[in-house]
Amino acid sequence: MRHSSLQLRRSGQARLASLAALAVSGAAVLAGEPEWRIIRPSNTGIPGEQVTGAFVDSSDRVWVAAHFPFWSEGGVGVFDGARWATFANWETPLPSAVVNQVVFDDSGNAWLGTRNGLAHYHGATGSWSVYTPADSPLPAPLIQYLDIAPDGAA
């Protein structure tokens, strides 16, 4: 299995993203007794079979970036521990099916780097802002990596 991302949540749960599926472990992984289950598009809100990463926000929600390469459909599935919400390129302003990176600012907003620009999800209002080279100072459409500056700015 080729691994794309591994994150350890504050609660002790591990999240492992692979190209084929996402495996989820309970807190027992820290005690040496992992209990894994495979989750995929057919039993979750993950909008694709090819996972590019898993990212954890300050509310401990897991954002899984994934896409279906053949259909050019994808986005992020957000798991709050009980339910999935899906933000897919066919129903939101996401500029691409492929989300490469997700980071979170101090206000709880998500910034998504995609193959065709930058998307900003305003968590409080549920609205989106999209930045591409055509309408912003971005020099190129591909956003591979993002980070939040020490002052909290994206």
Single out the residue of 134, 102, 91, 137 nearest to residue 116, CA to CA: 134
Assigned token pair, 87: 């933000």
Sheet holding 62-68, edge to edge: 50-56, 62-68, 73-79, 84-88
CATH of domain 3-131: 2.130.10.10
Instruction: Record the pTM.
Output: 0.77
Average pLDDT along the chain: 81
| Residue found under tokens 């066919």 | 90
Query: Is 126 within 8 Å of 91 (Cβ atoms)?
Result: no
Mean pLDDT confidence for 108-127: 95
pLDDT in tens, 21-70: 444 444 434 455 666 777 778 888 899 989 999 999 999 899 999 999 88
